[in-house]
Amino acid sequence: MEMVNQYKAAVIQAGSEMFDKDKGTDKAVRLINEAAENEAKVIVFPEAFIPCYPRGMSFGAVVGSRSQQGREDFTRYWKNAIQVPGKETDRIANAARDAKAYVMIGVVEKDSETSEGTLYCTVLFFGPDGTLLGKHRKLKPTGSERLIWGEGDGSTMPVFDTPYGRIGSLICWENYMPLARAAMYEKGIQIYVAPTADARDTWFASMRHIAHEGRCFVLSCNQYSTKDMYPEDIASRPEIEEQPHEITRGGSCVVNPLGGFIAEPVFGEEKIIYADIDLDKIPEGQFDFDPVGHYSRKDIFHLEVDETKRT
């Protein structure tokens, strides 16, 4: 495989077409095309871009009971989750092929192997030939996310060898799991994709730390969403009305292997953020710190990862 050491990456900070997988796929294809027109070779979307990250919605759940209105909202969410593979992934694959780019996109995946009743927060990986390379399911949904998403297992923790570096992903607060990060480092990750729904200042400190710790490039991608993006007729609309107009402020960024911003966090708008990647910066950083090489002390520490598929 011939490596391309210098290229352009695109981090797509955009809001979802809430609860509408068809319009969400249309928007994803349009944004892939735009990034390709600007010569991006690696294109990253936020967490749960299709159909949405339903921030601010309780789905009518409190300890010990669920409301009928919440069940109706969840059913609408479930109907707009996608199967993998399926017609939506086919469209994104075709867009990746036309763009001749690697595309990573956050989706809500409907479990098509068993009852279909469980949803997963998933990142899909597409190659420049239109191949669906694989997926990563979020290992541990955070807080109330556990009401709507199941837990992934170790069988979907891939790192892919590409001409643009070894690419893998952890989603949102998985990036706070030290052993999950260590598993990514052990696989030699170079392009560390971190789709998220977190726009707090502490998130950016973590992205800089991970890049510096892993001696890798970190592409962090969040949505920019506003209250008026939510459908008027969802049962939880009164909860949304209590939210600020700007529900997710963005904050997408790109960090180099020494922890410095290539593209600083962007707030308050939908925007495609471009960054020039130079893979030679990785060995420059590894000169004095390689977390799974000369700085690992494998005579003392041992990491064991169970990548068995659980049925």
- 293 within domain boundaries: no
- 73 within domain boundaries: yes
Beta strand 165-169 with 159-162 is antiparallel
Q: Active site includes 241? A: no
Q: Active site includes 21? A: no
- 302 within domain boundaries: no
- 306 within domain boundaries: no
Query: Among residues 138, 174, 216, 253, which one is catalytic?
Result: 138
Amino acid (1-letter code) at residue 261:
F
211-230, pLDDT tens digit by residue?
A: 999 999 999 999 999 999 99
Q: Active site includes 47? A: yes
Q: Is the full-model pTM beyond 0.75?
A: yes
What is the chain's alpha carbon radius of gyration, rounded to the nearest angstrom? 19
Query: Among residues 172, 216, 221, 253, which one is catalytic?
Result: 172
Nearest to 197 by CA among 160, 247, 232: 247
- 297 within domain boundaries: no
Percent of the chain with pLDDT over 90: 91
Query: Among residues 17, 47, 88, 109, which one is catalytic?
Result: 47
- 263 within domain boundaries: yes
235-286, pLDDT tens digit by residue?
A: 888 888 888 899 999 999 999 999 999 999 999 999 999 999 999 999 999 9
Task: Give the CATH number of the domain where residue 12 resides.
Answer: 3.60.110.10
Neighbours of 200 (CB within 10 A): 10
Amino acid (1-letter code) at residue 264:
E
Query: Could you give the number of structural domains in the chain?
Result: 1
Instruction: Supply the range of the domain harboring residue 34.
Output: 6-286
- 305 within domain boundaries: no
Residue 199 banded pLDDT, cuts 50, 70, 90? very high
- 38 within domain boundaries: yes
* Predicted pLDDT of residue 235: 85
